[in-house]
Amino acid sequence: MDVATRPALASGEFALGGDLRVRRMGFGAMRLTGPGIWGPPEDVDEAIRVLRRAVELGINLIDTADSYGPEVSEDLIRQALHPYPDDLVIATKVGLVRPGPGVWVPVGRPDYLRQQVEMSLRRLRVDRIDLLQLHRIDPEVPVEDQVGALIELRDQGKIRHLGLSEVSVEELAGVRRMTPIVSVQNLYNLVNRTWEPVLDYAEREGLGFLPWNPIATGDLARPGSPLDELARRRGLAPGQLALAWLLRRSPVMLPIPGTSKVDHLEENTAAALIELDDDEYDQLSSLG
């Protein structure tokens, strides 16, 4: 295992659903789009380089969604990486529509979800989506109808595993009474741990937890702060410490930091090589 050139390997592995092995340090492809997660990126060539470099660094979990762009992120992934490496897992999401830049609206009508899965299959040029996540539960549509549409597609062989995004413990447990769920993707980082109960539930139940916005540090990284001082002492970026903390926080944690620049990608992925001692981990834990 050459972690010097493929640092993501140092993050360890997690088996989604018990059979889909991914490295715990992944990549989130949302930021590859234009401002407001709308339209193409300013530098398409750099976006392509980011995706290819992610694979070179040992990352084999790329998280995207039909609404990123919309469609742009999935198109870029196909353009950069198809035909895909055998071990590459592309996780995508459906259930949000985009009326404009920075605007996200849940739509969970079964016919819409089925249509979007079919379009993602076409854009990504795959016969089956390894991990399909419901981006949001639409409060205007019975959850049984939303999940039922995805179960049908899984039964047809078009989806391998199902996941949920931005859900409570009660919602997650309720859907699991209908069908197996292998992962949950909620907002979680060093400074925002609102969904701590969901992470604890995922750990107890052996579900993968994909924290979105994983390297937010906010005021914790201000000059002279404890995080800033620890980062300076270790010769690291504050975001690297935030990622290292996440990886140690739970064995089911699958961070998916995103970026549109190769240099930042390399910096983020190198966080998998960082070993926090007990004092450093406790210090970081107390900051949130």
Distance of CA 141 to the CA centre of its chain: 25
Is 80 exceeded by the pLDDT of residue 217?
A: no
Q: Which two tokens stand for residue 285?
A: 């834990």
Q: Which of 64-78, 139-153, 214-228 comes out lowest in average pLDDT?
A: 214-228
Q: What is the mean pLDDT of residues 99-110?
A: 97
Note whether 162 and 181 are within 8 A (CB).
Answer: yes
pLDDT in tens, 243-273: 999 999 999 999 999 999 999 999 999 999 9
Is 70 exceeded by the pLDDT of residue 38?
A: yes
Compute the Cα dihedral for 187, 173, 144, 132 and give only its sign. positive
Contacts of 8 (CB under 8 A, 6+ apart): 23, 25, 57, 58, 59, 60, 269, 272
Q: What is the mean pLDDT of residues 269-286?
A: 96
Helix, strand, or coil (residue 38): strand
The mean pLDDT value of the chain amounts to 96
Q: Report percent pLDDT > 90 for the chain.
A: 93
Location of structure tokens 């983020």:
268
- What pLDDT, on a 0 to 100 scale, did the predictor assign at position 219? 79
- What pLDDT, on a 0 to 100 scale, did the predictor assign at position 216? 84
Q: Which of 81-90, 91-100, 214-223, 279-288 comes out lowest in average pLDDT?
A: 214-223
pLDDT in tens, 110-166: 999 999 999 999 999 999 999 999 999 999 999 999 999 999 999 999 999 999 999
Name the residues annotated as catalytic: 68
The full 3-state SS of 161-201, as one line of letters, equals: EEEEECCCHHHHHHHHCCCCCCEEECECCCCCCCCHHHHHH
pTM: 0.96
Contacts of 270 (CB under 8 A, 6+ apart): 7, 240
Nearest by Cα to 67 from 43, 102, 41: 102
CATH code, residues 9-218+251-260: 3.20.20.100
Nearest by Cα to 244 from 278, 210, 221, 271: 271
- DSSP 8-state secondary structure symbol assigned to residue 141: S
Is 90 exceeded by the pLDDT of residue 221?
A: no
Is 90 exceeded by the pLDDT of residue 239?
A: yes
- What pLDDT, on a 0 to 100 scale, did the predictor assign at position 1? 59
Amino acid at 229: E
pLDDT band for position 225 (50/70/90)? Answer: confident
- What pLDDT, on a 0 to 100 scale, did the predictor assign at position 218? 75
Q: What is the mean pLDDT of residues 210-228?
A: 87
Q: DSSP characters for 204-238?
A: HHT-EE--BSTT--GGGGSTTSHHHHHHHHHT--H
Note whether 3 and 10 are within 8 A (CB).
Answer: yes
Longest dimension (CA), the chain: 56
